[in-house]
Structure 1
Amino acid sequence: MATEKKLSSKGQAWFCTTGLPSDIVVEVDDMNFHLHKFPLMSKSRKLHQLITEQEARHSSAARPEEAQSEDEEEDQLLEQHFQLTFTEFPGGSEAFELAAKFCYGVKIDLSPSNVASLRCAGEFLEMTEEYSEDNLISKTERFLSSSVLNSIKDSITTLKSCERLMPMAEELGIASRCIDSIVSRASSVDPALFGWPVNDAARRRRNGVIRGGVTGGGGGGSGSGGYSWFEEISLLGMPLFKQLILAMKEAEMNSEITESCLMHYAKKHIPGVSRSIRKPLPSSSSSSSSLATEAEQKDLLETIVSNLPLEKSSKPSTATRFLFGLLRTANILNASEDCRDVLEKKIGSQLEEATLDDLLIPSYSYLNETLYDVDCVERILGHFLDGIEHRSASEIDGGDSVPRSPALMLVGKLIDGYLSEIASDSNLKASKFYNLAISLPDEARLFDDGLYRAVDVYLKVSDSVTKLFYYIIIRESVTEGCFAGFVNCRRIRGFRNRRERRFAECWTVGSLL
């Protein structure tokens, strides 16, 4: 009858009692495992080699001048207590405990969270099929192939566990196989089934379910909706996340999925990207909600921006709000010019989806006296107009008539609202106000009411029109042949009634613009 095995842990010590006293202590991460050498030697070539070497050293050191009998030598070996120490055991004491149980024949439960550490432990201890049949390496490999790699969620869980197993997990191909599985299974699913990862949390709670969910395996294994595995990906560390995004781009995955991963990861790790109040995502002991240093945040932001798809987002309103959040953060972190230029161009390609609140980008540079970054908005508007001009030129070449662009009219209304908002800034120079006002083509405005309102607000802040503004009005009057505007500009000084004077100023400037 087999001896009953009792496995127990006491403080920093772990015991296996089989009726025989322990003859070997293995120290892993300050945990002492009191074990028996023969079960360990039967499964692990490395432990067999180390124990045999210790036996040989003890035997030679204890050998007396007079020869001992074989029975005496055997009794002496049984009384010896061996000590092994592993300072960098893959997976730590938890992985060694499971490997030790496996050596004793105890059934262990493999899971996506422990299979990578056990695979590395088996490699470290040389628990190969050649040394012992149905050993730990072959058992973990079968579980990886038949279970983990058939599910997106399980593959992400195992990939996350690889972070503390580097570089062995990379050398054994565990991380790369998990990444390939994620990319392959995500690519085979219709992107329309994935929930957009930055939808308002309150809306999801109100609906009660996440619409458009897919199983974690995308055809194998159980899991939760698309939003769930976006959350799982956001828990990855930067090195593995970079590898995953690179694999997605190399596989030419649908840009919507790639952008969704980038957006969700940025919202998880970069503070201030989203201005809305959201329910915090579940925290992890090995992953904080924000990166530790400003340099790491800057590196992450530039990495995310450099990997954003060039195509216009399929959910432009949500993506535009997110891009403006990235742009604000890029200004705060003093990101590279290339990074900010990419963001401005991508925002410009879908500016019609922006709101007035999006455009109110604070001025973080001490060189700017204005409250908001007007130059940045002017550059974004320039990128938008370049795109409109390019599309119009293509339509003209095709022989089609070019109707008034709805996107251009939306942006015209947006810019007029922005002008009204920044007009109250007393530090705003007239030249900046004027240049932004005239940057829009005539087709952008059906009516000039918004522009008149902006000019009126601007003139209310200044008690009188500045000399530079007079110069601009005169210059444009001469250029456009609007001599009446010049006359009216001169007549402004003659008005005694303040309200009448402002009306004249507004009318004069509005007629010129």
Structure 2
Amino acid sequence: MSAGMATNSKGQAWFCTTGLPSDVVVDVNGMTFHLHKFPLMAKSKKLHELITEQEAKFTPDTVTDERNSENEEKEEIQAAAAVAEDEELYCQLRFSDFPGGPETFEMAAMFCYAVKIELSSSNVASLRCAAEVLEMTEEFCEDNLISKTERFFSQTVLQSLRDSIETLKSCECLMPLVESLGIVEKCIDSIATKVSAMDPSLFSLPENEATPIAGGRNMGTTTRSTAGGDRWLDELTFVTSPLFIRLIITMKSQNLNHEIIENCLLLYAKKRIPGINRTNRKPLPSSKPSEIEQKELLETIITNLPEQNCTRSSTTVKLFFGMLRTSNILNASDDCKSILEKKIGSQFEHATLDDLLMPSYSYLSETLYDVDCVQRILAQFLDSSEDKTSALMLVGKLIDGYLSEIALDANLKPDKFFELAVALPEQARLYDDGLYRSVDVYIKAHPWITESDREKVSGVLDCRKLTLEACTHAAQNERLPLRAVVQVLFFEQLQLRHAIAGTLMSADMAMALTHSDSDKSPTTTRHGVTEHDETVVTTGDDDDDDVTWRAAVRENQVLRLGMDTMRTRVHELERECTTMKKAIEKIDKVGPDGWRKKFGCKFKTQVCDSHEQTVVETRKGRRTHRTHHHHSSR
């Protein structure tokens, strides 16, 4: 029968052209199939029962009696025509919700006609459900569709991770029948088992390798796909959320690697929830879910994240920040936000400035950015018990860059700026140049703040940790309060003195080395002539010694030139300091003790006088000068 079979589809009708007129019409979800009852009845117990019931209900005798009783006055030929019409209609069957739709029923019908069908991981679940509905059991017919699909499912699909995922994807539209057949549970168990035996590195998230520029921003990204180019992990993101969460719960029950579970959840959230990945603007493959559905899915993913700290990378932190930003937009629960903040805080050193610049979505906050959230994340980072000496330095630079950005916000209060600036411990900053830049930007952007607020903001600076360049800029910065400028001048003077002392030490060491080389052998001159022998001894290193000696002389000259320059700068600072002291004394009528107490200057007046350490040419001159100064002071 299969050799002479052909199919023909016309609109919403499907015909089996075997040379015989069809005697069964089956309506499947609006699609009509014109078939023959004997092939169907031979394979399907359900179709056999339905066709037999139709034949028993609509026999020709019954139809003739009904027609004659209703139309007794009609002629016999009209009754015969009505009987023929009814004979054509009595074998009509209807399936309003057939699993897999018309496509699956077509394959089941072809199987009844002994036509070979191609089983695959994408259609085996629907065919198994169709065979269950049509009762195509082994008891009714040998090697029937149920046994054929079961064998393919267990021997082929469940042996492959990719095929198991593909079959699981097809199960959503087959609920609840596919669930009762155990196909969903078997697919989930197969996936979890095979994943547990794999290398966790295969589950690494695609990394965005960015070129960093100043301030922690990124410019240009290149994406690295998952390891080995394997696409099955991406296919997992197309599984519907209820089945995916069931898979995650099964993975957790089997104590799978936490990194695998976390990366699967992050990748699923990245692909299924719009807005988490700001660099990915591609539309979703299916219709966009509603905000309620997005919120429920996001909260479910967050609550299933492992508590342990897993993957530490900039990609992971970026996704966590994206989820936190989306949680604020969708108004997710506070518990979910706290989980994300804790996750970010455990690896805060991998964040970038772009990650921190989250807009504020709260009606209670007037600031442009969510500063409170960054403060909470920073607190989580500082509360962690792990060794983070190097990480602390990275976070210090990150916070300084963040302060420079938010300092431009006109609604940022001085207290909020101060709290975030002093939240980091002292060892987080090697230099305070970045913090000084933030303070300068804030004071410049907020010229209306009071003098006390200006002093409070500038009070976060440690002038001892400013470089010479920053001190020079701050000393000439008219926006800084007077107290800050005085402190900067004082510590700049100390730095210059230390630099001069170091220069003198280097120069003395260079001269000492030069003299020691020339006086090392008392019986040998620098040109190799001995006192006891008039013979000229030529050494092989004579030229090298001359070069070394000339280099030492040049270095000494350069050092002394730099020393003179710094001495000039010290004198300039002394004059500036003296001028400022006179101005302060005029302002404050209380006296020297009063202005020192007011401005917090704990150093005495004479510290600005550097004549005590005036640089002279030789050590003897320095000693003589110090002695002379000591006697004159008396």
Under a length normalisation based on structure 1, what TM-score does the superposition of the two structures give? 0.81
Match of residue 405 from structure 1: 389
Instruction: Give 1:133's aligned residue.
Output: 142
In the aligned structure 2, how far is the partner of 1:100 from the partner of 1:199?
Answer: 50
Q: Are the structure 2 counterparts of residues 241 and 200 from structure 1 closer, same or farther at C-alpha, using a change threshold of 3 Å?
A: farther
Matches for 1:257-336 after TM superposition, within 5 Å: 257-277=260-280, 280=282, 284=285, 287-288=286-287, 290-291=288-289, 293-336=290-333
Write the distance in 2 (CA, Å) between the matches of 1:200 and 1:15. 57
Q: Distance in 1 between matches of 2:345 and 2:88?
A: 79
In the alignment, which of 412, 416, 421 is matched to residue 400 of structure 2?
416
**Residue 502 (str. 1) matches residue 480 (str. 2):** yes
**Aligned residue runs from structure 1 range 370-409, under 5 A:** 370-387=367-384, 390-391=385-386, 405-409=389-393
Contact 1:119 1:137 in 2 (8 A): yes
Q: Does 1:255 align with 2:239?
A: no
Partner of 1:235: 238
Secondary structure at the residue paired with 1:7? strand
The offset of 1:382, in angstroms, is 0.5
Secondary structure at the counterpart of residue 500 of structure 1: coil
1:27 aligned residue: 27
What's the secondary structure of 2:32's corresponding residue? strand
How far did 1:19 drift?
Answer: 2.3
2:350 is aligned with 1:353:
yes
Match of 1:61 in 2: 62
Aligned residue in 1 for 2:471 = none
Q: Alpha-carbon deviations, 1:375-395, whole Å to 9, x = none?
A: 1100000000100xx336xxx
> Which SS does the other structure have where 1:311 is aligned?
coil
Cα separation, 1, equivalents of 2:180 and 2:7: 33
Change in Cα spacing, 1:21 to 1:353, as seen in structure 2 (3 Å) is: same
- TM-superposed deviation, 1:105: 0.5
Larger Rg: 2
Structure 1 position 440 matched with structure 2 position 424: yes
Distance 1:155 1:2 in 2: 32
Residue type of the alignment partner of 2:236 = I
The Cα shift of 1:64 comes to 6.1
What are the Cα deviations for residues 306-356 of structure 1, in whole angstroms up to 9, with x where unaligned? 122223232421100111111111111111111111111110010011111
Q: Deviations over 1:94-140 (max 9, x none)?
A: 11000000011000000111111000000001111111110000000
Distance 2:357 2:393 in 1: 20
Contact 2:44 2:135 in 1 (8 A): yes
Distance 1:371 1:506 in 2: 29
Return closer, same or farther for 1:418/1:307 CA change in 2, 3 Å cut-off. same
- Contact kept in structure 1, 2:161 and 2:190, CA below 8 Å: yes
Tell me the residue number matched to 1:212.
227
Shift of 1:156: 1.2
Structure with higher RCO (Cα < 8 A, 6+ apart): 1
Structure 2 alignment gaps of length 5 or more? 67-82, 211-219, 464-474, 492-599, 601-634
Q: Which residue of 2 aligns with 1:18?
A: 18
Work out whether residues 13 and 31 of structure 2, in 8 Å CA contact, stay in contact via their aligned partners in 1.
yes
**Alpha-carbon displacement from aligned partner over 1:387-433 (angstroms, at most 9, x marks no partner):** 0xx336xxxxxxxxxxx711111111111111121112121111111
Render the CA deviation track for 1:118-172: whole Å, top value 9, x for unaligned. 0000000111111111000000001111111111111111111111101111111
CA distance in 2, matches of 1:506, 1:250: 60
Does 1:362 pair with 2:359? yes
Mapping of 1:81-92 within 5 angstroms? 81-92=90-101
Q: Cα offset for 1:26?
A: 0.3
Compute the TM-score of the two structures, normalised by the length of structure 2: 0.66
TM-aligned CA distance change 1:307 to 1:372, over 3 Å: same
Structure 1 residues 3 and 322, CA, compared in 2 at 3 Å: closer, same or farther? Answer: closer
CA distance in 2, matches of 1:235, 1:506: 60
- Secondary structure of the 2:58 match is helix
Q: 1:115 aligns with which of 121, 124, 127?
A: 124
State, as a whole percentage, how many aligned pairs show the same letter.
57
* Alpha-carbon separation, structure 2, partners of 1:186 and 1:304: 19
Matches of 1:6 and 1:408, distance apart in 2: 75
Distance 1:456 1:204, change over 3 A: closer
Q: For residue 199 of structure 1, report the CA deviation from its aligned partner.
A: 4.5
* Aligned partner letter, 1:373: D
CA contact 2:410–2:445 (8 Å) conserved in 1: yes
Amino acid at match of 2:36: H
Which whole-Å CA distance do the structure 1 matches of 2:194 and 2:46 have between them?
Answer: 38
Instruction: Give the whole-Å Cα distance in 2 for the aligned partners of 1:46 and 1:433.
Output: 76
Distance in 2 between the 1:318 and 1:27 partners?
Answer: 52
Contact 1:430–1:466 (8 Å) recurs in 2: no
Q: Is the 8 A contact 1:456 1:506 kept in 2?
A: no
Partner of 1:337: 334
Question: Among 196, 203, 226, which residue is 2:205 paired with?
Answer: 196
Change (3 A) 1:102 1:140: same
Query: How far apart are the structure 1 equivalents of 2:486 and 2:445?
Result: 17
Deviates more, 1:2-11 or 1:318-327: 2-11
Instruction: Number of aligned residue pairs: give it.
Output: 451
Structure 1 509/142 Cα, relative in aligned 2: closer, same or farther at 3 Å? farther
- Counterpart Cα distance in 1 of 2:375 and 2:19: 82
What CA distance in whole angstroms lies between the structure 1 residues aligned with 2:487 and 2:123? 71
CA deviation vs aligned residue, 1:51-83 (integer Å, no higher than 9, x gap): 111111123734869xxxxxxxxx999877400
Give me the whole-angstrom Cα distance separating, in 2, the residues matched to 1:356 and 1:6. 66
1:168-207 map, 5 Å: 168-197=177-206, 199=208
